[in-house]
Amino acid sequence: MDVTISTSRVRGRTRAPPSKSYTHRAILAAGYGDEATVTDPLVSADTKATMRAVDAFGGSVERAEDGNARLVVEGFGGRPGVPDDVVNCENSGTTMRLVTACGALADGLVVLTGDDSLRSRPQGPLLSAVEELGGRGESTRGNGQAPLVVGGSTPGGRVSIPGDVSSQYITALLMAGAVTDEGIEVELETELKSAPYVDITVEVLEDFGVEVERTDEGFAVSGGQSYAPEGGEYAVPGDFSSMSYLLAAGAVAAEDGASVVVEGARPSAQGDSAILDVLDSMGADVAWDREAGEITVPRADLTGTTVDVGDTPDLLPTIATLGAVAAGDTVIENCEHVRYKETDRVSAMAEELGKMGASVTEREDRLTIHGDETDLVGARVDGRADHRVVMSLAVAGLVADGETTIAGAEHVDVSFPDFFDAIESLGVELRRE
């Protein structure tokens, strides 16, 4: 699907979708247990992949029939069964990593695959960790990429793993470790990137009654634990990663004297709430009513800033777009790991914003957007089959001169299926083709 966006001013209230990160973890946590209800979940292409994985392992995930936003999960009681078929994770990297460690607990072999993009993403360190823990973990092509074969009733133990490739490796091991016989101790070989995502994991596990210990070397979780949220229910908070596009839209395109108000901003462990600090550092007047869960952002004259995205890789596309509108240089540092997402988001944003007239300098671990040398103009751009690239380019289209057409816009279904409806409700002129 192509979506064409015209220069627009925005105002009004909208709501962020529920957190994708929390929803993934909550669905699988409920799957590890006996029975639980996940309320306010994000139901998207990615989270549906995690639902199917729970089904494949012998559980079930059903949407409530009463019209409320609830998922009723019948779990597989700690140890997954061997699926009848391969587990297709589609485009969801979170699903594949979490399910890799889960599948390694099965008394048999589990085959995991995904689409072309997912089959190109690195899984080798997690497979090595599974083998070090006494299970089986192999890449069918021997290159550390899917399709993967895991299993062997992994007993647990101590494992070392790099922390600078994907925090999802640590999340996967901690979630699986709680139901192993021996538990799992994770020693980090390198500095942990995207650390707030592990904080999210720890928060969810604790809410499901699972204890995790932070050690001098990394993390540890004892075995023989059970997953059971208090009262049998777990509520998913709003998603700050998705919120970032709505907040950016207000900062660059709100009508004079008006603001964009984003609902659903409940405090949580999400590292991407750092978007508020980024906007503040660029000169935006951001007001967060934590009790009401609302953030208000009017348009501002933005100035460039320097941001380290080591812990917040998903914010890079949003920050790059803000930098193209701001005066001066915006420098995004420590971003090499952002190249291993659905696409190489560093190059994708450099190239696609470049088509719109942005002056950008790309280095391996740094992206600099030269705002003073940039006048955004409408162009045809490629969303790169990446939801975050699509939404960030849509924000750029609000202030570009002329029309901006984004190819592959349907990929917002991965994390924010109603994104275009949301910005249209704020006054954005767009058409779908």
3-state helix, strand, coil in the chain (%, to 5): 35, 25, 40
Is 241 among the annotated ligand-binding positions?
A: no
Check whether 121 is labelled as a binding-site residue.
yes
Does 317 sit behind a cis peptide bond, omega within 30 degrees of 0 on the bond before it?
Answer: no
Torsion over CA of 317, 322, 328 and 332, rounded to 10 degrees?
A: -30
Annotation marks residue 256 as catalytic: no
Write the burial class of residue 128 (CB in 10 Å: 0-12 exposed, 13-18 middle, 19+ buried): middle
CB 266 within 8 A of CB 237: yes
Sign of CA dihedral 73, 75, 80, 83: negative
Query: Is residue 40 annotated as involved in ligand binding?
Result: no
Tell me how far CA of residue 9 lies from CA of 34, 253, 256, 262, 407, in angstroms.
49, 5, 9, 16, 22
d(CA 269, CA 110): 32
Q: Is 266 annotated as a binding residue?
A: no
Tokens (6 digits) for 242: 């998705």
* 93 in a known ligand binding site: yes
The reply, when asked if residue 314 is annotated as ligand binding, is: yes
Q: How many CA atoms lie within 13 A of 328 on its CB side?
A: 11
- Written as six digits, the tokens of 408 are 């592959």
432 labelled as ligand-binding?
Answer: no
25 is in an annotated binding site: yes
311, 314, 329, 382: which is the annotated catalytic residue?
314
Annotation-wise, does 79 bind a ligand? no
* Helices and strands (H, E) in the chain, number of each type: 12, 24
Residues annotated in a binding site for phosphoenolpyruvate: 20, 93, 121, 168, 345, 388
Residues annotated in a binding site: 20-21, 25, 93, 121, 166-168, 194, 314, 341, 345, 388
The residues annotated with a catalytic role in the active site are 314
Residues annotated in a binding site for 3-phosphoshikimate: 20-21, 25, 166-168, 194, 314, 341
